[in-house]
Amino acid sequence: MSQPPERYPLHLWIVEENHPLVAAWQARMLARRLHFSLADQTALATAVLEVARNIVRYAGRGEVIIRPYDDGVEVVARDAGPGIASVELALTDGYSTGHSLGLGLPGAKRLMSTFEIETAPGAGTLITMRKFPRAR
Protein backbone atom coordinates (compact mmCIF):
# COMPACT_ATOMS: atom_id res chain seq x y z
CA MET A 1 0.00 0.00 0.00
CA SER A 2 1.36 3.39 -0.93
CA GLN A 3 -0.18 5.25 1.99
CA PRO A 4 1.60 5.27 5.33
CA PRO A 5 -0.06 2.92 7.83
CA GLU A 6 -2.71 4.54 10.00
CA ARG A 7 -2.01 4.69 13.67
CA TYR A 8 -4.30 2.43 15.64
CA PRO A 9 -6.55 2.72 17.45
CA LEU A 10 -8.22 4.81 14.83
CA HIS A 11 -10.80 7.25 16.24
CA LEU A 12 -13.48 8.27 13.79
CA TRP A 13 -16.17 10.81 14.48
CA ILE A 14 -19.54 9.75 13.22
CA VAL A 15 -21.44 12.93 12.54
CA GLU A 16 -22.17 13.28 8.85
CA GLU A 17 -24.24 10.86 6.81
CA ASN A 18 -21.23 9.58 4.90
CA HIS A 19 -19.09 8.93 7.99
CA PRO A 20 -20.47 5.39 8.49
CA LEU A 21 -19.20 4.56 5.00
CA VAL A 22 -15.76 5.88 5.94
CA ALA A 23 -15.74 3.81 9.14
CA ALA A 24 -16.75 0.69 7.22
CA TRP A 25 -14.01 1.32 4.68
CA GLN A 26 -11.38 1.82 7.38
CA ALA A 27 -12.42 -1.42 9.09
CA ARG A 28 -12.15 -3.22 5.77
CA MET A 29 -8.67 -1.78 5.18
CA LEU A 30 -7.45 -3.05 8.55
CA ALA A 31 -9.03 -6.46 7.92
CA ARG A 32 -7.36 -6.62 4.53
CA ARG A 33 -4.02 -5.77 6.12
CA LEU A 34 -4.60 -8.64 8.55
CA HIS A 35 -5.27 -10.98 5.59
CA PHE A 36 -8.96 -11.53 6.29
CA SER A 37 -10.77 -13.34 3.48
CA LEU A 38 -12.96 -11.17 1.26
CA ALA A 39 -16.04 -12.65 2.95
CA ASP A 40 -14.72 -11.80 6.43
CA GLN A 41 -13.73 -8.30 5.31
CA THR A 42 -17.21 -7.78 3.94
CA ALA A 43 -18.90 -9.14 7.07
CA LEU A 44 -16.84 -6.84 9.30
CA ALA A 45 -17.38 -3.78 7.10
CA THR A 46 -21.12 -4.46 6.97
CA ALA A 47 -21.39 -4.78 10.76
CA VAL A 48 -19.48 -1.51 11.19
CA LEU A 49 -21.75 0.17 8.68
CA GLU A 50 -24.83 -1.05 10.57
CA VAL A 51 -23.76 0.23 13.99
CA ALA A 52 -22.36 3.49 12.60
CA ARG A 53 -25.54 4.21 10.64
CA ASN A 54 -27.44 3.59 13.87
CA ILE A 55 -25.34 6.30 15.54
CA VAL A 56 -26.26 8.84 12.88
CA ARG A 57 -29.90 7.78 12.84
CA TYR A 58 -30.64 7.58 16.54
CA ALA A 59 -27.95 9.57 18.36
CA GLY A 60 -26.99 12.15 15.74
CA ARG A 61 -23.33 11.87 16.57
CA GLY A 62 -20.87 9.48 18.11
CA GLU A 63 -17.59 7.75 17.60
CA VAL A 64 -16.20 4.55 16.13
CA ILE A 65 -12.82 3.23 17.25
CA ILE A 66 -11.06 0.59 15.18
CA ARG A 67 -7.97 -1.34 16.22
CA PRO A 68 -6.24 -4.67 15.78
CA TYR A 69 -7.02 -7.21 18.49
CA ASP A 70 -4.94 -10.39 18.48
CA ASP A 71 -5.27 -11.60 14.90
CA GLY A 72 -8.60 -9.84 14.49
CA VAL A 73 -10.24 -6.44 14.57
CA GLU A 74 -11.96 -4.74 17.47
CA VAL A 75 -14.55 -2.07 16.85
CA VAL A 76 -16.02 0.14 19.54
CA ALA A 77 -19.05 2.24 18.64
CA ARG A 78 -20.28 4.72 21.19
CA ASP A 79 -22.66 7.60 21.41
CA ALA A 80 -24.39 9.71 24.04
CA GLY A 81 -27.75 9.35 22.36
CA PRO A 82 -31.10 8.17 23.72
CA GLY A 83 -29.86 4.66 24.44
CA ILE A 84 -31.92 1.52 23.98
CA ALA A 85 -34.72 0.65 26.39
CA SER A 86 -34.77 -3.06 25.66
CA VAL A 87 -31.56 -4.57 24.33
CA GLU A 88 -33.28 -7.90 24.06
CA LEU A 89 -35.92 -6.40 21.78
CA ALA A 90 -33.34 -4.44 19.76
CA LEU A 91 -31.46 -7.66 19.13
CA THR A 92 -34.58 -9.36 17.83
CA ASP A 93 -34.81 -9.84 14.08
CA GLY A 94 -37.43 -7.66 12.48
CA TYR A 95 -37.74 -5.23 15.36
CA SER A 96 -37.24 -1.61 14.39
CA THR A 97 -38.16 1.75 15.84
CA GLY A 98 -36.56 3.48 12.88
CA HIS A 99 -36.92 2.88 9.22
CA SER A 100 -34.87 -0.21 8.63
CA LEU A 101 -35.71 -3.82 8.12
CA GLY A 102 -34.94 -4.37 11.81
CA LEU A 103 -31.93 -6.43 10.91
CA GLY A 104 -29.27 -3.92 11.91
CA LEU A 105 -28.21 -4.88 15.43
CA PRO A 106 -29.04 -8.59 15.33
CA GLY A 107 -27.40 -8.74 11.91
CA ALA A 108 -24.24 -7.01 13.10
CA LYS A 109 -24.11 -9.43 16.03
CA ARG A 110 -24.33 -12.42 13.70
CA LEU A 111 -21.66 -11.05 11.37
CA MET A 112 -19.13 -10.55 14.18
CA SER A 113 -17.28 -13.08 16.35
CA THR A 114 -18.12 -11.28 19.60
CA PHE A 115 -20.66 -8.56 20.29
CA GLU A 116 -21.35 -6.74 23.54
CA ILE A 117 -23.69 -3.87 24.12
CA GLU A 118 -24.05 -1.55 27.11
CA THR A 119 -26.94 0.84 27.04
CA ALA A 120 -29.77 2.32 29.04
CA PRO A 121 -32.44 4.90 28.26
CA GLY A 122 -30.79 8.32 28.27
CA ALA A 123 -27.36 6.85 28.89
CA GLY A 124 -26.12 6.39 25.35
CA THR A 125 -24.94 3.18 23.75
CA LEU A 126 -21.58 1.44 23.82
CA ILE A 127 -21.00 -1.49 21.49
CA THR A 128 -17.79 -3.50 21.58
CA MET A 129 -17.48 -6.09 18.85
CA ARG A 130 -14.66 -8.16 17.44
CA LYS A 131 -14.11 -10.11 14.28
CA PHE A 132 -11.58 -12.89 13.98
CA PRO A 133 -10.82 -14.45 10.63
CA ARG A 134 -12.47 -17.79 10.09
CA ALA A 135 -10.20 -20.73 9.37
CA ARG A 136 -9.81 -21.25 5.65
Positions in the binding site for another protein (CB under 8 A): 17-18, 21, 24, 28, 38-39, 41-43, 45-46, 49-50, 53, 93, 99-104, 106-107, 110-111
- Angle, CA of 98, 45 and 115, to the nearest 5°: 70
User: Could you tell me the smallest distance in angstroms from the CB atom of residue 97 to another protein?
Assistant: 14
User: Could you tell me the smallest distance in angstroms from the CB atom of residue 122 to another protein?
Assistant: 25
User: Could you tell me the smallest distance in angstroms from the CB atom of residue 82 to another protein?
Assistant: 19
**What is the per-residue DSSP string for 10-69?**
EEEEE-STTHHHHHHHHHHHHHHHTT--HHHHHHHHHHHHHHHHHIIIIIS-EEEEEEEE
- Residue placing its CB nearer to another protein in the complex, 28 or 78: 28
